Amino acid sequence: MSFLPAISIIALLAMLPVLISLRASMVEGGTEFAVACAIAGVAMLFLMLSELPALRPLSLIGIAFLAGACLFVLSGFRRALGVVEPLSTPLVTSACLVAVVLTVAVLGANSTTLHALSAVGITAAFVLIIAVCSQHRRQLPGPVERLCTIACVALGCSALIAVTALSSVTHVSASAPLAPVAWDFACAAMDYFYLPALFLGVILMIQNRVITDLKSAIARDELTGVLSRRALLDLGQRALTNSQARRQPVAFLLLDLDYFKQINDRYGHAVGDAALGHFAGTVSACLAGRGTLGRIGGEEFGIVLSNHNEDAAFALAEEIGRTVRDTPIGRFDRPIRLTVSIGLAEAAPGDTISDVMIRADMALYDAKADGRDRCTIAGRFQPDASSRALAGAAAQLRAADSRTAEPRLLRGTG
């Protein structure tokens, strides 16, 4: 009895708990992959026992379990790749099975057939593993990539079943020359290591997708869908570093939705949340890729504008103000008009993103003090400890002022 099936069984049993734990992730197909791994382990056990002369008929049961595992693998990839066409996967699988059957019919059930099928299966395995390991680079694979992946899965699984079935009835002489021995080693690798390698690639694919989803969740504000504060500051610091190296301007806009507390008090927090989402969508559409929007906190948002000097940033801020003013929320009984106050600061040599934000925050306080619904440009001073404290005090004053001021945006709304 060969020890190779035992190695395959141990590898599959080691991967099964990992697949079961990943089954609870948000990646589709996790359950199918876990079931396929368990069935493949049972198949390898039967195939190992069938090497004993008295238990040779068990090879048929092993091949049947192996075919079932391959079907679950195909189903798992179909769900993981989001293949919605009901006929695409069966058609591709049928075509691969026909190709394997034709190969066997043309070459006959001999060592040459095993060699050809092993070459096809190993090639498909390499392509497939590369494909599944790179799935994290793009969350939504294109139709061509999905088709190629499904084809590699079907071709590799078909070749695996054929090689396993033919290996049980085909024997190569022990005195074979070096090349056939190498091919026999390839056949053994296909028999016993194709599925463990495949499930290893599946585990990497699921883990990569989970990590990508977590990074996206951390980088995005849950309510508005724009960048979170941390992600925006990281992006802003990178933009500053790159722009300073290239001697290009960078500007930062700090936006504060006017009278937001009155919206919450008058219409409720659900409407307030809708107002934030509407505001973020309106500003994002207005930016049209010219800058990156993020939520600082509450009703405050920030925009990083690479390759924008003070004048270009001010023109864009004025455009944003007009767009917000002219785009009320119309999903409720009556339209709710919004306005925004904006503080603008252009980065100076040696600035950090915190320095630029402090100047923008001071400019935002001036915009609020001057009557709101406007943009104010920050003076060019270098923030120190007192400026940071003053910026914090300005934010507190804006919050207190928003609780007491009469909300002009609600006048005329009924």
- Tell me the pLDDT tens digit for each residue of 325-342: 999 887 656 788 899 999
What's the confidence (pLDDT) of residue 249?
92
Q: Report which of 288, 391, 283 is spatially closest to residue 345, judged by C-alpha positions.
A: 391
CB distance 276 to 257 below 8 Å: yes
Task: Transcribe 316-365 into DSSP letters.
Answer: HHHHHHHHHHT--B-SSSS-B---EEEEEEEPPTT--HHHHHHHHHHHHH
Residue percentage of the chain with pLDDT more than 70: 73
3-state secondary structure at position 373: coil
Measured CA to CA, the distance from residue 391 to residue 368 in angstroms comes to: 13
Q: Give yes or no for residue 235 having a pLDDT over 80.
A: yes
Q: Give yes or no for residue 271 having a pLDDT over 90.
A: no
Check residues 220 and 399 and name the one with the higher pLDDT. Answer: 220
- Tell me the pLDDT tens digit for each residue of 191-212: 777 888 888 878 887 777 777 7
What's the confidence (pLDDT) of residue 56?
79
What's the confidence (pLDDT) of residue 211?
77
Residues 6+ apart with CB under 8 A from 140: 82
pLDDT band at 88 (very low <50, low <70, confident <90, very high): low
Residue percentage of the chain with pLDDT more than 90: 18
- Give the pLDDT mean for 389-401: 51
Measured CA to CA, the distance from residue 362 to residue 42 in angstroms comes to: 69
Measured CA to CA, the distance from residue 141 to residue 135 in angstroms comes to: 7
H helix or E strand, kind and range, residue 253: strand 250-257
The radius of gyration of the chain's CA atoms, rounded to the nearest angstrom, is 31
What's the confidence (pLDDT) of residue 205?
79
CA 219, distance to chain mean position in Å, is: 12
Q: How many CB atoms lie within 10 A of CB 96?
A: 22
- Tell me the pLDDT tens digit for each residue of 348-359: 888 888 889 989
Measured CA to CA, the distance from residue 384 to residue 406 in angstroms comes to: 34
Residue type, 304: V
- Tell me the pLDDT tens digit for each residue of 166-182: 766 554 344 444 445 66
Confidence (pTM): 0.59
CA 328, distance to chain mean position in Å, is: 33
What's the confidence (pLDDT) of residue 322?
94
Helices 4-22, 30-49: inter-axial angle, 10-degree rounding: 160
What's the confidence (pLDDT) of residue 373?
92
Q: What is the CATH number of domain 229-410?
A: 3.30.70.270
- Tell me the pLDDT tens digit for each residue of 39-82: 988 988 888 888 787 887 888 888 888 888 888 888 888 887 77
Pairing mode of beta strands 250-257, 300-306: antiparallel
pLDDT band at 402 (very low <50, low <70, confident <90, very high): very low
- What is the sign, positive or negative, of the torsion defined by CA atoms of 91, 97, 101, 107? positive
What's the confidence (pLDDT) of residue 325?
92
264-284: buried (b, 16+ CB within 10 Å) or exposed (e) per residue?
A: beebeeebbebbbbbbbebbb
Cα of first residue to Cα of last residue in the chain, in angstroms, is: 87
Overall residue count recorded for the chain in this entry: 414
CA 54, distance to chain mean position in Å, is: 51
Q: Report which of 399, 412, 413, 414 is spatially closest to residue 260, judged by C-alpha positions.
A: 399
pLDDT band at 123 (very low <50, low <70, confident <90, very high): confident
Ranges of CATH 3.30.70.270 domains, the chain = 229-410
The residue with tokens 């095993």 is: 114
- Give the pLDDT mean for 118-131: 72
Q: Which two tokens stand for residue 60?
A: 């048929």
Measured CA to CA, the distance from residue 270 to residue 258 in angstroms comes to: 17
- Tell me the pLDDT tens digit for each residue of 284-313: 999 988 999 999 988 999 999 999 999 999
What average pLDDT does the chain have? 77
Q: Which two tokens stand for residue 340?
A: 């925004």
What's the confidence (pLDDT) of residue 24?
65
What's the confidence (pLDDT) of residue 280?
93
